[in-house]
A and B are shown apart, each in its own frame.
Chain A
């Protein structure tokens, strides 16, 4: 490609001529080629046609000659045919093969190229003509073409035509070249136009020549238009640029402090802002170097001095001016280079960033203070030691304001004494310790005030005048430490210079003071909560939680200082009765009085706590254990509680059961010691109350056994381990069985038959008595039903009702449903209740018992005479039978009083229309006496101990009777 480009002529004239030459040559060659070919074909065709005519003419002459055998004439005819003909040869061939052949003479002309000759020869064919006369053949006449000669003639023709064409072509090109060159010569006008422009004649225009071709005229016009447009366009641009430059310069002067100085540093130009910023006159500045304008220049914290450089310098500098105030400039120094690359001058552009820097410093200060506040806030939330917190507050105050002195003072809300003070850069003695009363209004009615207002503006000063003077303090900032308008103290910071505290400074110190106030408030609240958590609000004695901690701490101390610890567990006897009968407020009063009595036995080695309810405990720490001391203390406690308590004008008697356990003898853990003391107290209570017991290991074993039994008891009902025994009641009228008392028995697979005294109270305590009681009712009904079905005589069966059962709402309904379920006559059922059961909630008991009674079920009072023996309830309750307790029957023969009581009861019952049953009858003498006193029925081992159901059924079935016939008394 590059090769062809290199062949391309450089001038436009040459290029146009070359292009035209190529075009003409191509078209001329193609045209001539086609023309020559057509000419040749046409020429050959004409020759061939001519030959056909020629041979016909010649054939006629030959035919005439051949008939007569005139071969000479034939030969001459052939000769004539050949002359001036395109034939190479002419021949006559007779049928025998004889040939007359004549050759044309050689042509003098030159020969055509071989390819033309072969082309011609291929298109020319010999011309044959049979010589036939009257159907008889004499031979053949044949003419052969001279292809060389024809080709030579054609070639000559082509050469001549080609020469002519070439001449024509050359002439045309010369003419065209001349014309093109002449036309393009007009473009030279543009050269002179260019020269004019180059010489500075920017308004010049290229000259138009009238006879120039239209295209060139248009081109020159376009150049002129373009030049005019560019002149206009660039003129506007340059003007705009100049305006912009001026505006930028003005703008720069408005906001920037600009000067120019030589490479030696000498100032050569300053703008107005530079003059005013430097606080020097323009003339004065132009005589200085850049380093001499300000008293000192600093880059960050290092002194800064300008040094000649070839690079742009950029940075922030602090300038100390004449007036002593510092300013911050954002400085850019730009070297301006000359044509040789040397520094021609420097332009210094400063922007005053003093406000920004100060703002940044303020932000940083604020951020630092916020961090300090945050750190202090964290400490205020977590630090338990308020003294350390106060010290930290003073330190944080001093650090936040970058001052060397700070102090604070906090006063007690009640005593108004200084309870906390802290100081930084000062001594403890520098802070006021005594104050006058000018701030009494701030502190309430108290006259013992901690902080004084020294001035009329009610400003409180922590420091004495002497301190201020001694330390050279010139600026003070003090703020109140208060929370919810409660004044707690003062926090202050102090400067030894004249310092104007800003609003931010005050806010910072006040925030610290507020945080400290909140922390103090939290500390107070914590102390109050601790007090509440550790003390009983009723008696103000320490509570169980405090006692536990105290005990743990005391035990821990024994590791370093071996000692013994005694825990005295005190439980008031009959407190519940007082509470139930006289009301809770009276009970509370009793507890308070008991607390005061117990406190009288407390010294520095002991403490007393209320554990809850009517339980108290005294913990005594002995350097050396003294059993006698503890015994004495316990006895004093028992005695103190035995004395009457005057409650609401009444003397109320209660007592105390006291248990004692000692560390480390009775346990090595606070919980164990307390539990063992409780166990000992339980035994004291079991052994008759109003006494004290020392713990021993056996007590615990019984307690453990009790716990095991209780655990087993809980599953006994599901395991069907309960059974019923029945003890007959005997009518003293005829000695027959008049009724039965159902008695619950627990037959455990491994423990065997457990005593009712061991498990019945447990059922009561655990509440299991309710489901077990219902089971008993069902079982009794089932027994009655079974006996009825077996045609055994039915007698009423009595069931013991406990106090817990009587508290169950709907007991009457439950009983009714069970009776209906089994279809039992209600009169066959009796419920036995003790006096105490009836007295617990008499109102509800009356209602329930009346419902039960209304069904026809009998009611009896068990153990009559051992409790209240209130005659009133005999009237209130729908009772049918009184059962005289066995303790009266037991000694009825020997104790006159028992006999009298028994007799009185029988008489009383009969008078009230009640039946009487004597329990525990074991001898005939007892029986005889009871019969004598008119008792209705007896129950006891005399007739039968409690027996299993089947045995009892057999007894009834056999109609066993008691012989009650005695010898007739001696009746006078």
Chain B
């Protein structure tokens, strides 16, 4: 009798446990956190339709977890609160160890890190930045901050570093004159010029870096990763997806139609090269 009751209790407990596991798997949600390249509202308008579409097409539940700054996105990764990210902050040797994999990127030409001043600025060379304030989106911004500030360090030009939090904030400080120069990637410069009608003078160009990468944490199964990757890559071939991409392109005034293509670690070798040669405080 006792055995029978014990068995029954075990079976009930097991069935509860299984049902919980099954329901946990059923409701498993992955957070997707892109680096906020614009401002919160614009970034949300850009990513929400894409993530909703990918989630529907792939069958993998994705939610958008948008941080105000690139530090927020990196923090979410470090705190393991997200499993998909659109970032280029994870190529340092230390972060490689986290096991995140590149599976795609935007079909766009590689970017350059640039140090720019307003077109009407009296500053025409890097040397003239000595003692001036240079604004960056944030310390996590790879091309905009790490690459450009590393160049200033290499050149021995002492500047005052200012973090605006995100790219639009940095542009605002440059335009308002609070900062005299700005570290930025070339794509964002052209996008901002297109969007706001402002023109800039480029004082320095870095070597080429591919834009942010679509990355997945090692906690994502291969099957789910493949499903999500396929959904991204096939957007352009699907009427609904192509429309979303078209609207996104219009939204951010991208110079070329936005679409996602497969990418591998090799596409971001230039980042690793930078880390290998960068000053220690820029790694």
Contact = CB atoms under 8 A, between A and B. Distances in A.
Interface string A261-283: 00000000000000000000000
Interface string A893-925: 000000000000000000000000000000000
The SS class assigned to the B binding surface is helix
A241 interface: no
A135 B78 contact: no
Contacts of A137: 78, 94-95
Contacts of B79: 93, 97, 128, 139-140, 142
A902 B140 CA distance: 190
Given A125-B72, A129-B71, A93 B280 contact: no
Given A135-B280, A136-B94, A129 B275 contact: no
A128 B76 contact: yes
A129 B68 contact: no
B75 A135 contact: no
A836 B93 CA distance: 181
A52 interface: yes
B49 interface: no
A62 to B, nearest CB: 13
Interface in A127-178: 128-130, 132, 134-137, 139-140, 142
A125 B75 CA distance: 13
B110 interface: no
A533 interface: no
A95 interface: yes
A958 B94 CA distance: 182
Interface string B65-104: 0011101101110111000000000001111000000000
Contacts of A142: 75, 79
Contacts of A97: 79-80
Contacts of B68: 125
A126 B66 CA distance: 11
Given A128-B67, A128-B72, A135 B80 contact: no
A360 B72 CA distance: 125
A499 to B, nearest CB: 125
A137 B94 CA distance: 7
A128 B283 contact: no
Interface in A219-273: none
Contacts of B40: 125
Contact of B75 (A52, A134, A140): A140
Nearest to B78: A140
A95 B275 contact: no
A52 to B, nearest CB: 6
Contacts of A134: 280-281, 283
Contacts of B80: 95, 97
Nearest to A92: B79
A134 to B, nearest CB: 6
A137 B92 CA distance: 10
A128 B75 CA distance: 6
Contacts of B93: 135
A140 B80 CA distance: 10
A95 B78 contact: yes
B71 A130 contact: yes
B146 to A, nearest CB: 10
Interface string A70-106: 0000000000000000000000010101000000000
A93 B72 contact: no
Interface string B94-124: 1100000000000000000000000000000
Contacts of A132: 94
Nearest to B75: A128
Most chain B CB within 10 A, of A95, A126, A129, A137, is at A137
Interface in A801-836: none
Contact of B94 (A52, A126, A135): A135
Interface string B162-191: 000100000000000000000000000000
Contacts of B280: 134-135
A93 B283 contact: no
Given A125-B67, A130-B78, A135 B283 contact: yes
Nearest to A93: B79
Most chain B CB within 10 A, of A95, A132, A139, is at A132
Nearest to B164: A52
Nearest to A126: B72
A95 to B, nearest CB: 6
B172 to A, nearest CB: 13
Contacts, number: 48
Contacts of A130: 71, 74-75, 78, 140
Contacts of B275: 135
Most chain B CB within 10 A, of A52, A134, A140, is at A140
B117 to A, nearest CB: 25
A142 B78 CA distance: 12
Contacts of A139: 78-79
A67 to B, nearest CB: 14
A128 B71 contact: yes
B200 to A, nearest CB: 25
A126 B69 CA distance: 10
Nearest to B74: A130
Contacts of B69: 128
Nearest to B40: A125
Contacts of A136: 94
B17 to A, nearest CB: 23
A136 B140 CA distance: 13
Contacts of A129: 71, 75
A93 B78 contact: yes
Nearest to B280: A134
A126 B275 CA distance: 29
Most chain A CB within 10 A, of B69, B71, B72, B283, is at B71
A52 B140 contact: no
Contacts of B92: 135
Contact of B165 (A52, A95, A135): A52
A97 B74 CA distance: 15
Most chain A CB within 10 A, of B68, B72, B75, is at B75
A97 B98 CA distance: 13
A384 B28 CA distance: 142
A469 B274 CA distance: 174
Interface string A52-64: 1000000000000
A125 B39 CA distance: 13
Contacts of B71: 128-130
A50 to B, nearest CB: 13
A190 to B, nearest CB: 64
Interface string B43-61: 0000000000000000000
Contacts of B74: 128, 130
Contacts of A52: 165
Contacts of B75: 128-130, 140, 142
Contacts of A93: 78-79
A952 B92 CA distance: 173
Contacts of B94: 132, 135-137
A101 B73 CA distance: 20
B104 to A, nearest CB: 24
A42 to B, nearest CB: 16
A125 B80 CA distance: 18
Nearest to B90: A137
Nearest to B72: A128
Nearest to A99: B79
A403 to B, nearest CB: 124
Nearest to B283: A135
Contacts of A140: 75, 78-79
Nearest to A139: B78
Most chain A CB within 10 A, of B79, B92, B94, B165, is at B79
Q: Which 3 residue pairs spanning A and B have beta carbons closest together?
A: A128-B75, A135-B283, A140-B75
14 contacts: A93-B78, A125-B72, A130-B75, A130-B78, A130-B140, A132-B94, A134-B280, A134-B281, A135-B275, A136-B94, A137-B78, A137-B94, A139-B79, A140-B75
Given A130-B140, A142-B75, 7 more contacts: A52-B165, A97-B79, A125-B68, A128-B74, A128-B75, A129-B71, A139-B78
